[in-house]
Amino acid sequence: MNKKQIEQALRDYLWMMNEIIREREELNHIIGGNVVAHIDDMPKASGQTSDPVANEAIRRMNKSKRVEKLEDKVLEIQRRAKVITNERELTVLNCMMDGMSMRAISKHMGLSERHVFRLKDSIVEQMADMSDLAEMADCF
């Protein structure tokens, strides 16, 4: 993930978590109701068929792939969050992950918005550097 992707994932973290939770609850409900199709029974074509059950299976498979992508982003942010050790930065990070705006974080911490943005930029920088280090380690 580059800096821009990290920053966007931090902004989107709360809704991504909420979406993952919602989709898992729906999946548990469906599985509990025994409305699960066998993979072998699903149509191989990616287009619409005249079978509404097959279309629904395709829709759910596509939705599942989308949720997997959200899970990957959330897990990546959680993994990278471990590099943040400064208490103020941790507070900003946790507030961002809780869905708070920069203005709300500023009021909550009693800091200027400019200072909160600098802390956020430092967080993003450290998280991005983590991937740079991993890439350099892969070269050796």
Q: What is the pLDDT of residues 24-41, one digit of tens each?
A: 888 776 655 544 444 445
Q: Domain total for the chain?
A: 1
Residue 43 has pLDDT above 60, yes or no: no
Give the Cα separation of 11 and 13 in Å (integer). 6
- The closest alpha carbon to 134, from 1, 43, 41, belongs to 1
On whether the CB atoms of residues 134 and 7 are closer than 8 A, the answer is no
Give the Cα separation of 71 and 68 in Å (integer). 5
Amino acid code (one letter) for 36: V
What integer pLDDT is reported at residue 60 of this predicted model?
Answer: 82
- pTM assigned to the model: 0.75
Q: What is the mean pLDDT of residues 84-97?
A: 98
Q: What domain range includes position 32?
A: 3-139
Q: Percent of the chain having pLDDT more than 70?
A: 78
